[in-house]
Amino acid sequence: MKKIILLIMMSLIFAKMAIAQTPTSSPSGTIVPSPTSQIDKQIQNLKEKIANKVAEINKKDKRAYSGVISKIDANTILFKSNDDQEMEAKIDELLSKIYIISGSTKKEAKLSDLKKDDYIIVSGVSSGKSITVNSVYKDEEYFVKTGKVSEVSKTDYNIKVTTSDKDNLTVDIETYTKIKLLNIKSLEIEKSGFSKIKEGDTIHFVYKKPVETKEQNRFSAQTILIIPQEYFIK
């Protein structure tokens, strides 16, 4: 609500500035509408638009969706949600905000900064598969996989993994990769290292969608949780 009041106040200020900077004149005998009445009408329209938006938010479902952009058309973003639904996000030039997330920073952006295949998080008022947008966040897409280690390369610092979906992946261990281990005696999660990964272990790992795919089915791990194979031996 504070944002709405601020928008109205800013509109008043900008409208008054426009009057001060624009001289008015009229041909003899022509009746020119009062600038004040025109401004009042514009402000009233803005108030009504905001009031309608607030009423819409109060009546409908306000939530967030995430997915990959399939198309951008005028003020509409079409994207495929994580549960494979085709969604439509309607951008309001007055009220919708767009941001780009990079690491821990967030900066305001424009619709033109978004493109096909970008991963976005959309919050707003939904009606079926259509969303009236409050905010759009362009973010990095992360994936979580589970699989069994089939090979460990100590020279190249990577592991071969067969996932639960029967995919064969190469997982690179980077300097930033965080590795944790399940202690099978205490069942506590402990900080660990690459040397603790063995063939036959089960791992849960997180990786983000690469900007460019240099090699198919090869990814750099952000985080790895090792479940030693001994855990499953009774």
In a domain, 39, yes or no: no
Please tell me whether residues 159 and 207 are part of one structural domain.
Answer: yes
pLDDT beneath 70: ranges in the chain: 1-62, 211-214, 234
* Placement of tokens 């990814």 in the chain: 219
Q: What are phi and psi of 41, to 5 degrees?
A: -70, -40
The predicted structure's pLDDT at residue 55: 55
Does residue 51 sit within a domain? no
Does 190 lie in the same domain as 206? yes
Q: How much is the pLDDT for 95? A: 87
Quick one: 114 and 163 in the same domain?
no
Note the pLDDT of residue 18.
45
Q: Which domain holds residue 115?
A: 61-139
Tokens 């198309």 belong to which residue?
71
The DSSP output letter for 234 is -
Instruction: State how far the Cα of 109 lies from the Cα of 95, in Å rounded to an integer.
Output: 14
Q: Report pLDDT for 190.
A: 94
CATH number at residue 149: 2.40.50.320
In a domain, 41, yes or no: no
**pLDDT value at position 54?**
54
Q: Which residues contact 230 (CB under 8 A, 6 or more apart)?
A: 184
How many Cβ atoms from other residues are within 10 Å of residue 165's Cβ? 9
**Rounded to an integer, what distance in angstroms lies between the CA atom of residue 191 and that of residue 159?**
19
- The last residue of one of the domains, among 116, 139, 162, is 139
Q: Are residues 221 and 169 in the same domain?
A: yes
Q: What is the pLDDT of residue 45?
A: 66
Whether residue 150 is found in the same domain as residue 211: yes
Judgement on whether residues 146 and 199 belong to the same structural domain of the protein: yes
Last residue of a domain, one of 139, 171, 192: 139
pLDDT at 22: 45
Verify that 118 and 164 share a domain, yes or no.
no
Which of 107, 139, 171 is where one domain is finished? 139
Full DSSP string of 114-172: --TT-EEEEEEEEETTEEEEEEEEEE--EEEEEEEEEEEETTTTEEEEEETTS-EEEEE
Burial class of residue 179 in the structure, from the number of CB atoms within 10 Å of its CB (0-12 exposed, 13-18 middle, 19+ buried): buried
Q: Are residues 171 and 224 in the same domain?
A: yes
For the chain, how big is the Rg over CA atoms in Å?
A: 27
Instruction: Tell whether 53 is covered by a domain.
Output: no
Q: What is the pLDDT of residue 91?
A: 93
Assigned domain for 25 exists: no
Decide if 151 is inside a domain. yes
Q: How many domains does the chain have?
A: 2
147 and 123 in a common domain: no
Q: Which residues contact 196 (CB under 8 A, 6 or more apart)?
A: 179, 181, 226
Answer for the pair 69, 89: CB distance below 8 angstroms, yes or no: no
